[in-house]
Amino acid sequence: MVEIPKEILAAVISHAQSGFPLEVCGILGGNGKVVASHHPMTNTDASNDHFMMDPKEQFAVVKALRASGEEMLVIYHSHPESPARPSQEDIRLALTPNVHHLIVSLEARDKPVAKVFRINGGVVEPVEIVVA
Amino acid sequence: MNLTVNGKPASIAEENPVPVSQLLELLRVEQREYVTVELNGDILDRGDFDGATVKDGDNVEFLYFMGGGR
């Protein structure tokens, strides 16, 4: 389970919609299983079907989270035209330990779907989202 | 030597400066080919991992690439 404030989940979905048709990405911070902050990131690939975060932004966000007593809890990205499930490349590049992966699908543009997963060693497990 | 690694104190059993590539091995960082390293505030090029050295008191941050695709 991961708890996400409704305002933050709405902001993540809004980020995905405003970035369409490109993939967007970002980081959610917090503690334990509770998300507390939202950090939209630059997709340096600027692509419809790939994302890569800017390392400079990654370091800045991780340091800011640390300074505020938070941890990186969730890495999110959008799938503009495919379902909310990790692709083979998402699984292969899920390298950061102990984080959740949130995917927003805009396959149905007017009905965004957000799902969260744990990905460890190539094994994908769905995680319940509790919207608080 | 004593370092700060990802914001936390860390010690390694080396007194002399060591290449960043060796530090990652000593820290048992897995899948090092996907790691980005910042040394004292500067992000290193991957090609510099063998040439850049870490000395006592240095501040090292490392992160995995965060990416994916459809």
**pLDDT-derived band at A18, boundaries 50, 70, 90:** very high
**pLDDT-derived band at B70, boundaries 50, 70, 90:** confident
pLDDT in tens, A48-105: 999 999 999 999 999 999 999 999 999 999 999 999 999 999 999 999 999 999 999 9
pLDDT in tens, A54-65: 999 999 999 999
- The pLDDT score that the predictor gives to residue B69 is 84
Flag if B63 and A89 touch (Cβ within 8 Å).
no
Partner-chain residue, chosen from A63, A89, A95, that has the shortest CB–CB distance to B69: A89
Partner-chain residue, chosen from A56, A86, A93, that has the shortest CB–CB distance to B67: A93
Q: Is the dihedral of CA B2, A59, A62, B32 positive or negative?
A: negative
Query: CA of A67: how far to CAs of A35, A112, A127, B18, B60, in Å?
Result: 16, 33, 28, 28, 16
Domains of chain A: 2-131 (3.40.140.10)
B58 touches chain A (CB under 8 A): no
| Distance from the Cα of residue A57 to its chain's centroid | 15
- The pLDDT score that the predictor gives to residue A123 is 97
A117 touches chain B (CB under 8 A): no
Whether B48 has a pLDDT exceeding 80, the answer reads yes
Mean pLDDT of chain B: 95
From A99, A102, A108, select the one nearest A86 (Cα to Cα). A102
Phi, psi of B58 (to 5 degrees): -70, 160
What are the chain A neighbours of B7 within 8 Å (beta carbons)? 63, 66
Flag if B70 and A87 touch (Cβ within 8 Å).
yes
What are the chain B neighbours of A51 within 8 Å (beta carbons)? 67-69
Tokens of A89: 């490349």
Sheet containing strand A25-31, strands side by side: A123-127, A113-120, A100-105, A71-79, A25-31, A34-41, A2-4, A129-131
**pLDDT-derived band at A47, boundaries 50, 70, 90:** very high
What are the chain B neighbours of A89 within 8 Å (beta carbons)? 67-70
ipTM strictly over 0.90? Answer: yes
From A73, A23, A93, select the one nearest A51 (Cα to Cα). A23
Query: Mean per-residue pLDDT for B2-27?
Result: 96
Contact A117, A127 (CB under 8 A): yes
Domains of chain B: 2-64 (3.10.20.30)
